[in-house]
């Protein structure tokens, strides 16, 4: 069974927390008890006020306030007037980890089964989709980006500041007892060219060869 991540997990160095989040499962529970679950396959670390790519580099403002609060809370903002992005606050004031992509999973009994993943990611594509269902490749892309992830899980600014350690509505579970060790790739972060030398930091991490990682 999965274990809900406690605040202790979020209190490590931001880059370490980012890497450790890969392979964990984000869980969203709705009022009717229904759940959406996805394996975290892509993240980026934003390491506080001196990191010029980090929103906190503009100082402690109304928008970035929760990034300066306790670890293990959600920092959510609206981007391009359309999409929301989900971050987890870490211990360092002003630092957070951006969740960029999830591989959707299905709960079958007490087990989690990944959907739309190729054999090299430990699961085969589903068989012929039944009418009304998405094909495997389409399922894999349902949360393959920071905006899409929030769209899929219906996460908006009402979750800004949400305590992820409560195990309600939105939290992260560790199912490592059932998962395979996977290779991690590090690259430059996406869309932060304005940040000078900080744009070169290899603080984007993703699971190699996973079908749900965002495009670029």
Q: Which residues bind DNA (CB under 7 A)?
A: 44, 46, 53-56, 58-59, 61-64, 77-83, 85, 87, 96, 98, 145-149, 189-192, 194, 214
CA distance 42 to 71: 20
Strands 184-187 and 3-4: unpaired
Write the CA distances from 19 to 79, 144, 183, integer angstroms. Answer: 24, 18, 11
Q: Between 58 and 106, whose beta carbon lies closer to DNA?
A: 58
Q: CB 107 → DNA: shortest distance, Å?
A: 24
In whole angstroms, the minimum distance from the beta carbon of 32 to DNA comes to 25
Judged by beta carbon, residue 2 or residue 53, the one nearer DNA is: 53
Min. distance of Cβ 82 from DNA in angstroms? 5
Query: Do the strands 25-29 and 35-47 form a parallel or antiparallel pair, or are they unpaired?
Result: antiparallel
Supply the minimum distance, in Å, between the C-beta of residue 109 and DNA.
Answer: 31
8 A C-beta contact, residue 178 and residue 112: yes
Cβ atoms 12, 89 nearer than 8 A: no
CB closer to DNA out of 54 and 153: 54
Our CA angle for 85, 89, 90, nearest 5°, is: 140
Dist. CA 15–CA 47, nearest whole Å: 8
When the beta carbons of 98 and 139 are compared against DNA, the nearer one is 98
CB nearer DNA, residue 27 or residue 192 = 192
Give the shortest CB-3-to-DNA separation in angstroms. 26
Q: Is 110 left (phi over 0), alpha (psi -120 to 50) or beta?
A: alpha
How far is C-alpha 16 from the geometric centre of its chain's CA atoms?
A: 14
Q: Which is nearer to DNA, 24 or 204 (CB)?
A: 204
Supply the minimum distance, in Å, between the C-beta of residue 104 and DNA: 14
């Amino acid at each position: 069974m999965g274990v809900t991540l406690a605040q202790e997990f979020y209190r490590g160095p931001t880059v370490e927390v980012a890497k450790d989040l890969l392979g964990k499962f984000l869980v969203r529970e709705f009022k009717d008890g229904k759940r959406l679950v996805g394996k975290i396959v892509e993240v980026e670390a934003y390491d506080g006020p001196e990191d010029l790519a980090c929103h906190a580099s503009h100082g402690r403002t109304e928008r970035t306030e929760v990034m300066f609060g306790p670890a293990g809370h959600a920092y959510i903002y609206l981007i391009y007037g359309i999409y929301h992005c989900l971050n987890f606050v870490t211990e360092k004031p002003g630092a957070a980890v951006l969740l960029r992509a999830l591989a959707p999973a299905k709960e079958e009994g007490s087990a989690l089964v990944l959907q739309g993943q190729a054999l090299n990611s430990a699961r085969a594509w589903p068989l012929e989709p039944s009418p009304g269902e998405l094909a495997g490749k389409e399922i894999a892309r349902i949360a393959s980006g920071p905006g899409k992830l929030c769209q899929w899980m219906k996460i908006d600014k009402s979750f800004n500041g949400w305590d992820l350690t409560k195990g309600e509505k939105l939290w992260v579970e560790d199912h490592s007892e059932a998962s395979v060790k996977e290779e991690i790739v590090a690259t430059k972060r996406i869309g932060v060219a304005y940040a000078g030398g900080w744009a070169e930091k290899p603080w984007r991490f993703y699971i190699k060869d996973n079908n749900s990682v965002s495009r670029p």
